[in-house]
Amino acid sequence: MTTTIYYAAGSLDGYLARPDDDLDWLLSYDGSYDGDEAEADPMGEGGSYESFYESVSALVMGSATYEWILDHLDVAGNGEWPYKKKPTWVLSSRELRLPEDEGVDVRIADAPVRELYPELAAVAGDGTLWIVGGGGVASQFADEGILDEVHLTVVPVVLGAGKPLFGRPLPAGPLQLSGTRVFGNGMVELRYKARSDAP
């Protein structure tokens, strides 16, 4: 059974990016925490991102997230599409350019998530369907009752304004905390179940 997870990093005040989609606050973040329970930094070798990514069978994202990745490939993946061999759906009503790398499977889809979900779940199988972003896409999955979990890495930076973690209140009510992780760079991962029947 597919597990649909919204996995993202956000500021302390709940934003994914600045109003202009800038992520300098995240990419240049340099903090630390010396507590005994601190794990390796999430993006480092053997970090939580690596283990999460291994579980991912398919990805879905909005056009703003997709175009940001294409425009910042040197940051995201040394000039290459960072999600090779992982089928990726981009929700958009516009025609969008595709990555030029070989072996990349990017599909532009102009359809509601409820209509797309059977295809997404069939490809993801028993693995993870990763909602990469943004908040509007995550909200669409939540509205349809097909968002299983939220994994948020909180970066201790306050932006004051920007692109919110979700586009609107969640219809299912409060999330259920299922775990936390503290990292040596001062970030904290909060894991929540978004549905009472989530695995």
* Start and end residues for every CATH 3.40.430.10 domain found in the chain: 57-125
pLDDT at 18: 96
pLDDT at 47: 75
Distance (Å, whole) CA 139 – CA 167: 6
* pLDDT tens-place values along the chain, 199 residues long: 999 999 999 999 999 999 999 999 999 999 999 999 999 888 766 678 899 999 999 999 999 999 999 988 765 556 789 998 899 999 999 999 998 888 899 999 999 999 999 999 999 999 999 999 999 999 999 999 999 999 999 999 999 999 999 999 999 889 999 999 999 999 999 999 997 565 5
How many Å separate Cα 140 from the centre of its chain? Answer: 14
Alpha helix positions (H), 62-185? 63-71, 73-77, 113-124, 135-143
CATH dotted code for 57-125:
3.40.430.10
Residue 102: other Cβ atoms inside 10 A = 8
Distance (Å, whole) CA 114 – CA 130: 16
pLDDT at 76: 52
Residue 174: other Cβ atoms inside 10 A = 8
Q: Report the run of H or E that residue 181 belongs to, with start and end.
A: strand 176-182
Alpha helix positions (H), the chain? 24-27, 48-55, 63-71, 73-77, 113-124, 135-143
User: 183: which DSSP letter?
Assistant: B
pLDDT at 72: 85
